[in-house]
């Protein structure tokens, strides 16, 4: 429950972690169950609903229906799922703002992030199951719109897609897609920042308490603008709205026995100075009183007043190329192979397939690889070859490239013909314009001058070529050349530059 000595030395290092406000509410209303035994019991219930009594901003008491559905094969998200959820959020935050909706990681990396020293088969199986819990658990809850003064229903699942690779039952890497609410909260600044170094080694309940206390104390401090204050919260409300419906204890000693170690861990982090559990004014329950610690003021000043941000790790592009896109390529292939039948598409792709997809991606764009896949699936039936896995694509790369090269040549030829037609059309337009300009000039020049020029060129032409065929046309061309030069009629290039809209 306590922080390591190394972590105590690093605790003041600021590592900003952005967390959506809606997410804080969702995780506290039952999306996660912090009691593994209770989570096991809930795993046998595919769906459930309950009501929460709350005060809306207008001071009216209303009921809010909470509904959730879980997949019995994977169970209700519990402490491991919460740790993985936390690690995914942190990595999404590290990618920088604007936030991306996809996060990639290796199983070794995930094991390290959730505090697992080993990352063997059993550990990977647990991570796989927890990821499926985050994908398969759906929660419907209601938020209050202050402007319309109405409740709005939101259906939420933390993950909306998961793509994984591995071999012989061992998970090696994954790419997950986050619910749009997660991304929009961060990008629309409906979120808060906290120092991840203070919560990195905390247990899930301690982490949940830390995040809620940080958020609430930050709001209180921002409004009061004084360092000496006490934050109080009803103990029952903490259990129901912060800790996923944790069972409420009737006695002070039991409360301290249950929450005391977690509050001590939060105190060790520096967020709070001290706490107490006392009877409320009516004597019907308990309040938990919190005094902020030096760590709270240090982090608040660094995050909000100095406007600090994470040093972006610039890892998004690397992981997109090494993990995300190869897995998306495999997903595209198998969906096309099985006609979109989800029941036939495997949950985990083979590592050797992911490696081949990665090598293809180094050579070709994502769109080109999708073209290769489409080509493969179209060509295979022609030779009655039955495709069973992604490796079959290798046999069609050469034929695809040949077809692609032919298509490129045909496109080039078509493009050249189009350009030639455009140039010819523009030249015809210029010739028409020049002819019209020369006609105007001829009407403005005396007939005697035109007759003189025609006689001059006729004599010159006949002196070298006495053939009568085409004589008058050749004379006209020579006269037009003189008029063009004398009155500076623009050449084709000059006309084109002054009429750019014709290009």
Number of domains composing the chain: 3
Q: Same domain, yes or no, for 255 and 141? A: yes
pLDDT of residue 233: 95
Nearest in space to 315 (alpha carbons), one of 134, 91, 16: 91
List, in sequence order, every residue forming a beta bridge with 63; answer none if it has no partner.
53
Q: Same domain, yes or no, for 270 and 321? A: no
- Asked if pLDDT for residue 95 goes beyond 60, the answer is yes
Domain hosting 366: range is 316-403
Q: 51 versus 337: which is more confidently predicted?
A: 337
Q: Same domain, yes or no, for 334 and 239? A: no
Q: Same domain, yes or no, for 343 and 387? A: yes
Please provide residue 247's backbone torsions phi and psi, each rounded to the nearest 5 degrees.
Answer: -60, 135
Cα–Cα distances in Å, from 326 out to 289, 329, 373? 51, 5, 13
pLDDT of residue 149: 72
Residue 332 included in any domain: yes
Mean pLDDT of the chain: 85
Residue 81 included in any domain: yes
Q: Same domain, yes or no, for 283 and 392? A: no
- Of 77-91, 197-211, 454-468, least confident by mean pLDDT is 454-468
Q: Same domain, yes or no, for 35 and 143? A: yes
Residue 422 included in any domain: no
Nearest in space to 162 (alpha carbons), one of 122, 187, 129: 129
Domain boundary among 305, 337, 372: 305
Sequence-ordered alpha helix ranges (H) in 180-251: 180-187, 204-224, 235-237
- Asked if pLDDT for residue 1 goes beyond 50, the answer is no
Q: Same domain, yes or no, for 337 and 462? A: no
The b/e string for 455-467 (b: 16+ C-beta within 10 A; e otherwise) is eebbeebeeeeee
Domain boundary among 403, 437, 469: 403
Residue 63 binned pLDDT confidence (cut-offs 50, 70, 90): confident
Residue with tokens 């491991």: 80
> What tens digit of pLDDT does each residue of 274-321 get?
999 999 988 899 999 999 999 999 999 888 876 555 444 456 778 888
Residue 91 included in any domain: yes
Angle at 119 (CA atoms; ends 113, 120), nearest 5 degrees: 165
Distance (Å, rounded) from C-alpha 199 to C-alpha 82? 13
Q: Same domain, yes or no, for 272 and 163? A: yes
Nearest in space to 99 (alpha carbons), one of 182, 162, 27, 211: 182
Q: What is the DSSP string of 279-300?
A: E-TTSSSEEEEEEE-HHHHHHH
Q: Same domain, yes or no, for 94 and 141? A: yes
Distance (Å, rounded) from C-alpha 88 to C-alpha 319? 14
Residue 9 included in any domain: yes
Residue 419 included in any domain: no
Distance (Å, rounded) from C-alpha 22 to C-alpha 352? 40
Residue 104 included in any domain: yes
Q: Same domain, yes or no, for 97 and 161? A: yes
Residue 425 included in any domain: no
- Asked if pLDDT for residue 66 goes beyond 90, the answer is no
Q: Same domain, yes or no, for 301 and 344? A: no
Q: Same domain, yes or no, for 349 and 296? A: no
How does strand 159-167 pair with strand 348-350?
parallel
Residue 101 binned pLDDT confidence (cut-offs 50, 70, 90): very high
Query: Rg of the chain over CA atoms, in angstroms?
Result: 37
Domain boundary among 259, 282, 305: 305
Residue with tokens 């999708």: 370
Instruction: State whether residue 271 is helix, strand or coil.
Output: coil
Q: What is the pTM of this model?
A: 0.76
CA dihedral sign, ordered 198, 200, 203, 204: positive
């Amino acid at each position: 429950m306590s922080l390591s000595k190394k972590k105590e030395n690093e605790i003041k290092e600021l590592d900003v972690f952005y967390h959506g406000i809606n997410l804080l509410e969702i995780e506290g209303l039952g999306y996660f169950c912090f009691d593994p035994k209770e989570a096991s019991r809930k795993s046998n219930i595919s769906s459930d609903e309950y009501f929460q009594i709350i005060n809306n901003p207008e001071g009216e008491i209303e009921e809010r229906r909470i509904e959730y559905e879980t997949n019995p094969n994977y169970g209700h998200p519990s402490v491991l799922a919460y740790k993985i959820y936390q690690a995914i959020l942190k990595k999404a935050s590290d990618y920088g703002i604007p936030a991306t909706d996809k996060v990639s990681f290796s199983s070794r990396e995930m094991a390290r992030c959730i505090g697992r020293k080993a990352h063997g088969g059993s550990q990977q199986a647990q991570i796989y199951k927890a990821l499926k819990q985050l994908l398969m658990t759906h929660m419907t809850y209601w938020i209050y719109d202050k402007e319309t003064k109405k409740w709005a229903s939101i259906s939420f699942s933390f993950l909306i897609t998961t793509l994984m690779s591995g071999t012989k039952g061992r998970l090696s890497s994954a790419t997950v897609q986050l619910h749009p609410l997660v991304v929009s909260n961060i990008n629309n600044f409906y979120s808060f920042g906290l120092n991840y170094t203070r919560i990195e080694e905390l247990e899930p309940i301690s982490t949940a308490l830390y995040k809620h206390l940080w958020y609430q104390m930050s709001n209180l401090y921002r409004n009061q603008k004084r360092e000496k204050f006490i934050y109080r919260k009803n103990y029952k409300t903490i259990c129901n709205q912060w800790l996923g419906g944790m069972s409420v204890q009737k006695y002070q000693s039991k409360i301290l026995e249950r929450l005391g170690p977690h509050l001590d861990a939060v105190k060790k982090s520096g967020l709070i100075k001290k706490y107490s559990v006392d009877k409320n004014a009516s004597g019907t329950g308990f309040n938990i009183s919190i005094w902020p610690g030096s760590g709270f003021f240090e982090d608040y000043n660094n995050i909000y007043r100095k406007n600090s941000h994470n040093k972006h790790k610039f890892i998004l592009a690397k992981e997109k190329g090494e993990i995300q896109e190869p897995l998306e390529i495999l997903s595209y292939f198998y969906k096309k192979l099985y006609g979109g039948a989800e029941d036939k598409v495997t949950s985990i792709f083979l590592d050797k397939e992911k490696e081949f997809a990665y090598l293809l991606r180094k050579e070709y764009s994502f769109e080109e690889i999708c073209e290769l896949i489409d080509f493969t699936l179209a060509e295979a039936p022609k030779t009655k070859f039955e495709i069973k896995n992604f490796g079959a694509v290798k046999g069609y790369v050469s034929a695809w490239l040949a077809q692609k090269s032919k298509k490129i040549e045909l496109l080039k030829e078509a493009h050249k013909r189009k350009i030639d037609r455009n140039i010819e059309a523009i030249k015809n337009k210029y010739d028409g314009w020049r002819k019209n300009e020369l006609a105007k000039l001829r009407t403005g020049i005396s007939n005697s001058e035109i007759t003189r020029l025609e006689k001059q060129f006729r004599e010159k032409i006949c002196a070298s070529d006495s053939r009568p065929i085409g004589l008058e046309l050749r004379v006209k061309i020579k006269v037009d050349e003189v008029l063009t030069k004398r009155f500076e009629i623009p050449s084709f290039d000059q006309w084109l530059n002054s009429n750019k809209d014709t290009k």
